[in-house]
Amino acid sequence: MIRLREYQKTAVEHALKNKRSTLVLPTGTGKTIIGAFFLKRLFEDGKIRKALVLVPTRILVEQTYSTYTNLGLKSERIYGIFSRDRRVELWKRAKIAIATPETVYNDLNIVDADAIVVDECHHAVGDDAYAKVLRELDCEYRLGLSAFIPRRRRREIEELIGEIREWSVEQLKKYVAEWIADIFETKFNKKEMEIYDKIDRRRNFAKSYEKLIYTSALKYFAKDGALALKESLNRKTKLAKLLEDLKEKFKGLRDLHKLEYLFRAFELYEGFEKAIVFVERVVVAKRLFEILSECYKTALIVGRKERKKEELEKAKKANVVISTSAGEEGIDLPTADLLINWSNTSSPLRFIQRHGRIMRKVGKSVKFVVYLVTPDTIDVDDLLTSIDQAKRIIDVNVERSALEELWKISRRRKIIDLLTEPMPIEWLIEISGRTKAEVQFAVKKACEEGEVIYIYTHLGKTFVKREFANKLEKFKDFLKPTCEGKVKIDGRRISGDYEKIKSKLVKRLPIDGLDVVVAKRVGDLIEYDHRVYNFRIDNLYILDLVLRNAFS
């Protein structure tokens, strides 16, 4: 059971005593846990029958559900994509319902709650779905949670939820990282998603050289917006030729689908001194410069030729700096305290260089990074790739649960759905239509997440989804243990045959992977075979399968 920190105990007691309150604490200090314990106490004291937790995105629905489940709080996730009948059933049986405000607002006539926890409650103003729900629901207990509430929103939020109480970064300094990351889902609308899917399908069946061109189109579209692709379609390029038939459809799309979320980031971190916004395409950087110059003192860095002394001086004096890759190196902006990745990069080097622009210990003790990412697109894939590799070199302060939920809404995750039958990487590449690098990343990530396992066969590493592990039994010639060897686990070595090692390891389940060296006698010689199983072994069947394979 999680033990609350002193400030968390104080926060929970304050919320219970006041019945209606808004708590503002820095990112990374466990606001979700405060909300969970607030409801836990209300249920234990018999003061409520049903509760509602509002969160802004699908990622946070899953993340919050995971936290509540780990705390032993029975809850239900309710999504708008569920059928009406299923939602009616879920609302009826849920003691704690976790949903986005849009879903709740659409179902107001069937929603029943005595208490409501509002995560990211700074959204609860005006015509936002948060505010609409709070105006309609009659809950005696209300708790709002946020990392920051802009001054102009405070009065309305206090009226809808409750009086604001704040804990500063200085008060909680020992609990707060030097920089904290936040992920904003920048969703495509229906038309945008349809066109993206059409290009993606073409890429899957394209020849290798065309596949690269289609990949570029997908990246321009998902990372930078339709404006980037429109510009490319107006030139005489191979990309324009391949997408000629879609040119008219692009004219009706939003130029910058991430723009709304960029302004949300500025509002959330309203007290920033200097923000850097990294953008891939020059045309998008220039458009953003035009738009943001109306609200902020803005500077633009778009190419090495333009990196003159006067341009850098403008960047130092600006509140917002819009930069392409030209600003990833060599720009010294130590006062910058907010980094926004409009276009996510798959390069760990560029990822680290970008973060290096704001990580010098000057000015504020805590700085913030925001990733604007388009769900179910290559944008998610590239962000996951860069984080996965960069975290080996620097601390990447993105919560693991947030990365797990990102993985679930990525395109590469869908590659894993094909592994209902055992197969090597080469087969998966062929049937998915994806590149070798994409498939290798997807399989590696799925093994780390415990979704996929493998054994060694005549095909090489042979992968399958965990729920279909029994299908590996067809490779019976590779599951007949006859050798002895050593297993390395937690820095220790265990020697013996299959039965001896199995009897010792079964007591240590679950195990996060195995490193096995097997000794095989070939005539008068002994050959050593080294096999590594990089996935979680959490039950007796998987352990037995792995050891039978390793000692064959």
Give 37-57 pLDDT, tens digit per residue: 999 999 999 999 999 999 987
pLDDT tens track for 480-505: 988 888 888 777 888 888 898 888 88
pLDDT of residue 361: 52
265: helix, coil or strand? helix
**Mean pLDDT, the chain, integer:** 86
Q: What pLDDT does 2 receive? A: 73
By C-alpha distance, which of 119, 108, 122 is closest to 142?
A: 119
Sequence ranges of the domains in the chain: 6-175, 177-409, 425-550
CATH number of the structural domain 177-409: 3.40.50.300
Burial environment of residue 395 by CB neighbours within 10 A (0 to 12, 13 to 18, 19 or more): exposed
pLDDT at 306 over 70: no
CA contacts within 13 A on the Cβ side of 21:
18
pLDDT above 70: residue 467: yes
| Range 255-282 average pLDDT | 89
Q: Examine domains 6-175 and 177-409 and report if their fold is the same.
A: yes
Q: Where does 6-175 sit in CATH, by number?
A: 3.40.50.300
Point out the least confidently predicted range of 96-110, 340-354, 434-448, 494-508. Answer: 340-354
> Beta strands 492-497 and 484-489: pairing type?
antiparallel
| 215 three-state secondary structure | helix
pLDDT at 315: 77
Degrees, nearest 5: CA angle 242-411-188: 70
Residue 89 has pLDDT above 90, yes or no: yes
Q: Is the peptide bond before 101 cis (omega within 30 degrees of 0)?
A: no
Question: pLDDT digit string (tens) for 344-401?
Answer: 888 876 777 777 666 555 555 678 889 999 998 999 988 888 887 777 666 676 777 7
**Per-residue pLDDT averaged across 447-453, rounded?**
90
d(CA 96, CA 52): 6
Higher local confidence (pLDDT), 477 or 30: 477
* Per-residue pLDDT reduced to its tens digit, 404-426: 778 887 888 889 999 999 999 99
